[in-house]
Chains A and B, each alone.
Chain A
């Protein structure tokens, strides 16, 4: 059981380093998907990228301030 928990932790660690960034990315992706369903537009891709870039920039600046 401990080995399984350790394996799961290792696997989760491949994708999640800072939980708040991972959660924010998933929420943003969901919002853009909803936006695309409600009003498909040519700029959805740009909105998706700009949001992700802003999340990364904010997260790294916050991490830098904490240390």
Chain B
């Protein structure tokens, strides 16, 4: 049974957390546009971006139903595996201190400086609209892919979409209330959890796509989640610079 508990709960959680990360990043840029170029272009660009994403979902959703399940699992599973491992790799390197953490405050300051210094503001500011539109489409495309990947291959598109909508409501409400970037959100921890979940789902679906019959059926997905979580924890510990190495470098 595809819509069983072991799949439904992690699917909703993965969709919610992944969408939360993407919406927080989009909010930072939309806020920067609002503060520097005005709220009209910021909201117009956001609305146009959301419209394009809705059109994509409306076109892709019914088309997916025409693809045989095996092919869908293989293609979507492989893409999800690549996507999840990319997030997991980056989150591991950030958690180990190898690459710097993503800083929403710094991103907001950089975007504000770039937009504030660029040209004159008009009633319908093209730069402001385009900047808000671009970030909403780029981050939104990731959300759409994640929803399709975690939802469609397992017949859980609706629960996954509800997870994403909940994240959107949370981010918009916080953004409207605070009027500043959500820098307190532990983005790397979220990326680590989402990377683990997406890598596990991707492995599960891609495995089914190449003909693997998982022992324990859907429960194998939870074992994969535990396996990737352990791999991430081990990798973080293995990547952390050792004190001796740090001393040699004079840190």
**Which residues of A does B touch, CB under 8 Å?**
10-11, 14-18, 21-22, 25-26, 29, 32-33, 36-37, 40, 42, 44-45, 48-49, 52-53, 56-57, 59-61, 63-64, 67
Number of A-B contacts (CB under 8 A): 102
Contacts A53-B227, A56-B89 hold; do A44 and B212 have CB atoms under 8 A apart? Answer: yes
Shortest CB distance B51–A (Å): 18
**Structural contact, A59 and B89, CB atoms closer than 8 A:** yes
A29 to chain B, nearest CB (A): 6
Given that A29-B210, A33-B210, A57-B234 are contacting pairs, would A67 and B82 also be in contact in the complex, using a CB cutoff of 8 Å? no
B231 engages A57 (CB within 8 Å): yes
Would you call B235 and A57 a contact (CB within 8 A)?
A: yes
Most chain B beta-carbon neighbours within 10 Å: one of A17, A36, A60: A60
Add 8 more A-B contacts to A21-B89, A48-B212 (CB < 8 A).
A17-B86, A18-B86, A36-B211, A36-B212, A37-B211, A53-B227, A60-B235, A63-B239
How distant is A40 from chain B, measured CB to nearest CB, in Å? 7
Determine the residue in chain B with the shortest Cβ distance to A43: B215
Query: Residues of A contacting B86 with CB < 8 Å?
Result: 14-18, 21-22
User: In terms of DSSP, what is the predominant structure of the interface of chain B?
Assistant: helix
Q: Which residues of A contact B227 (CB under 8 A)?
A: 49, 53
How many chain B residues sit at the interface, stated as a range, is: 35 or more
Distance between Cα atoms of A53 and B230 in the complex (Å): 9
Q: Which residues of A contact B214 (CB under 8 A)?
A: 45
Residue of A nearest to B240 (CB): A64
**Is A52 within 8 A of B199, CB to CB?**
yes
Q: Which residues of B contact A17 (CB under 8 A)?
A: 86, 89-90
A60 adjacent to B210 (CB under 8 Å): no
